[in-house]
Amino acid sequence: MQYQTYNPPADLEFLVKCFWTLEVPAEAAGQQQRILPDGCMEMIFTLGDDIRRLQGDAWITQPRAMVVGQITEAFVIEPTGYVQAFGTRFYPYGFAHFLTVPARDLNDKETPLDILFGKKAAKELGEKITAAADTQKRICIVRDFLLARLSDQDTIDKIVKSTIDTLLSSGGGTAIHTILGDNLPKRRQLERNFLKQVGMTPKQLGKVIRLQTALKIMLSEQAESLTSIAYESEYYDQAHFIRDFKELTGMNPKAFSDKGQMALSALFYKPG
């Protein structure tokens, strides 16, 4: 597997966390991979063979040009052949600038681009991405597409952004009541704005960010006990860590280091 990330242009830095590419040889076809929640929405183009996702007891083929909304529980995907994909990963509030529906309406599913941007615009974008000679050209194409549709930066509620910035800087360890105090009306308003602009509540996002902190520690060079990982990631105790881990990933923390289904996630979350 070859996974590479690219920094966004300066005029998209406040929205886009990174661009990325993924290539997996055809020999890996049929090998299931588990994709974990990370608090980000993504716009993804499939340039190789189709990719399927397990939905209930059935496999569905993912759209070849899509936005993946917030993932609240692990996705299991399976390549049908050679994988080549190009993606744009947005900050938790980044894609709200391009939405005409609440972000939560996109949760846990793949939405084709033509539903969000119209058939003509989506078709033209897909054709340009497919025909582009390299990744840098694809980044420029997406940049121009997004900037042409960028609404006023005031789309994002200032308290939503400041809360997310605090959660990100603390690795998800800052409690919401620490940020907003005991002002219940203010907290309820923040929760409504989060569901509209981010797709999940502040508490849910904090839980996902804290999971990401733990995953990076688990994948670092220095092996640590579950207890030390839990405390370093700002969980109350090991039981709290295991409970949240199972809820968001569908597995026990000890299974995460196993190869197979977690190989792709390990590439995503391993510290640089």
What distance in Å separates the CA atoms of residue 33 and residue 112, rounded to the nearest whole number? 22
pLDDT at 272 over 70: no
Whether residue 9 lies inside any domain: the answer is yes
Compute the chain's Rg from CA coordinates: 19
CB atoms under 10 Å from CB of 10, counted, come to: 7
CB atoms under 10 Å from CB of 74, counted, come to: 17
End-to-end CA distance of the chain: 16
β-strands 83-90, 42-46: how paired?
antiparallel
pLDDT at 43 over 60: yes
The structure tokens 């994002």 sit at 156
pLDDT at 12 over 90: yes
pLDDT for res 261: 59
- pLDDT tens digit string along 145-191? 999 988 655 667 788 888 888 888 888 777 777 776 666 777 788 88
- pLDDT tens digit string along 58-98? 999 999 999 999 999 888 999 999 999 999 999 999 999 89
Q: Do 26 and 42 contact (CB within 8 A), yes or no?
A: no
Is pLDDT larger for residue 29 or for residue 117? 117
What distance in Å separates the CA atoms of residue 198 and residue 95, rounded to the nearest whole number? 8
Whether residue 77 lies inside any domain: the answer is yes
Whether residue 245 lies inside any domain: the answer is no
Whether residue 78 lies inside any domain: the answer is yes
Confidence tier at 115 by pLDDT (50, 70, 90): very high
pLDDT for res 222: 64
Whether residue 171 lies inside any domain: the answer is no
pLDDT at 31 over 70: yes
Question: What average pLDDT does range 1-28 have in this prediction?
Answer: 92
Whether residue 38 lies inside any domain: the answer is yes
Question: What average pLDDT does range 253-259 have in this prediction?
Answer: 69
- pLDDT tens digit string along 188-244? 888 888 999 999 998 899 999 998 888 888 877 565 788 888 888 888 888 998 999
Question: What average pLDDT does range 243-247 have in this prediction?
Answer: 90
Q: Would you list the DSSP string of 52-105? A: EEEETTEEEEPPSEEEE---SS-EEEEESS-EEEEEEEEPTTGGGGG-SS-GGG
Whether residue 263 lies inside any domain: the answer is no
Question: What average pLDDT does range 114-121 have in this prediction?
Answer: 96
What distance in Å separates the CA atoms of residue 144 and residue 121, rounded to the nearest whole number? 12
Whether residue 50 lies inside any domain: the answer is yes
How high is the mean pLDDT of the chain? 87
How many helices, marked H, and strands, marked E, lie in the chain? 11, 10
What distance in Å separates the CA atoms of residue 253 and residue 241, rounded to the nearest whole number? 9
Cα of 157 vs its chain's centroid, Å: 20
Total number of domains constituting the chain: 1
**Residue 54, CA distances (Å) to 58, 74, 75, 238 in order:** 6, 10, 7, 30
- pTM recorded for the entire structure: 0.89
What residue numbers bound the domain in which 126 lies? 2-152
pLDDT for res 53: 95
Which domain CATH number covers 139? 2.60.120.10
